[in-house]
Structure 1
Amino acid sequence: MEKKELVMNCTLALHGCRTSYDRSDLDSWYLLGTYEYDGSKLYLNTLDDKICYCDRYDATPLKSWDSLSAMLTSEIERIFGLFDADGHCIDEDVPTTPVVI
């Protein structure tokens, strides 16, 4: 298994399949993914199209990105930096969830 598959498979899981692009039938939040580290979530806020990161049991945004592509670029770069060339976590004490400032 390549490093990118190992890292992304065990750190951030992306979910979902859209069956309709008609936004009138969607709730305002659409779950996109979860972080294995603590079960925290990523969701699309369909009211403003921002991608939000939140706690496992609370949808209050802790961090947000302006688009899906911005979130993916940011998270892929950040997550890959947490692992060595063999796909092993560099520091087990460092959370693999987004940094919240």
Structure 2
Amino acid sequence: MNEYEISLKPLDRFLSIGEKETINGSRLIGNPDKNKPFFWLIKIYAKLHSDEILNLVDKINIPDVYRNFLTMCCNGLDLFLGTLSLFGYRENMNRNPEDIIQQPFSILTVNLKERPKNSKEEYFFFGSYNWDGSYVYINKNDNCVYLCQRNDATPTYKWDSFSIFLTTEINRICSLMKDDGSELKPDNSTLPII
């Protein structure tokens, strides 16, 4: 088990409300409504194979730490219905439910088409929070992770590394949830800063 996989261990707390592995190897955790087979609280997308990562690297310069995450751990994830989403390689844009639960948001969209203002070339956007659409990015010059608003890349919060970001955010977000996967305080912000 590598450091990325260890960071995901707190999510095992929600295995009691369901677990499923999809055809492509993605791991789904927490289905509180068994009548909705595509309703999963946590989606951990299957890690990338060498041909898939090469396809991405042809289009975008991915920092080594995030490339390792995509190939050694998972191709992104979606925690608690988008409370935090980490982007990855999206094989297709199909909208059928089976495809949607097996694929992350595309890492290409925000990095190539929808970059926030004040973005610099060294900013690599890799995730977002659904509370207000804030993004997280790695500054390739210092390898720190930064939080920014959806439309402005000016940093509002900082983590010293991707590993610290991943570990602290998964632990923090899990602490905001009840054992059934619902939020303890649904009206409170789920962002790392208030």
- Residue in 1 that maps onto 2:41: 6
Q: State yes or no: 1:65 paired with 2:138.
A: no
Structure 2 gaps, min length 5: 1-17, 19-28, 31-39, 43-78, 90-106, 108-120
1:43-58 map, 5 Å: 43-58=137-152
Structure number with the higher helix fraction is 2
Q: Does structure 1 conserve the Cα–Cα contact (< 8 Å) formed by 2:144 and 2:162?
A: yes
Deviations 1:29-62 (A, max 9, x none): 0011010111000001011111000111111111
Percent of residue pairs identical: 38
Distance of 2:41 and 2:158 partners within structure 1: 25
Give, in angstroms, the shift of residue 16 of structure 1.
Answer: 3.2
Q: Does structure 2 conserve the Cα–Cα contact (< 8 Å) formed by 1:14 and 1:34?
A: yes
Where do 4+ consecutive residues of structure 1 move more than 6 Å? none
**Number of equivalences:** 91
Structure 1 gaps, min length 5: 19-26
- Residue in 1 that maps onto 2:126: 32
Q: What amino acid does structure 2 have at the position aligned with 1:64?
A: K
- Residue in 1 that maps onto 2:117: none
Q: Does structure 1 conserve the Cα–Cα contact (< 8 Å) formed by 2:144 and 2:158?
A: yes
Q: Does structure 2 conserve the Cα–Cα contact (< 8 Å) formed by 1:16 and 1:31?
A: no
Q: Does structure 2 conserve the Cα–Cα contact (< 8 Å) formed by 1:51 and 1:68?
A: yes
Larger radius of gyration: 2
Distance of 1:59 and 1:85 partners within structure 2: 34
Q: Tell me the TM-score normalized by structure 2.
A: 0.44
Q: What amino acid does structure 1 have at the position aligned with 2:173?
A: I
Give, in angstroms, the shift of residue 89 of structure 1.
Answer: 0.7
The answer to which structure, 1 or 2, has the higher relative contact order (CA under 8 A, 6+ apart) is: 1
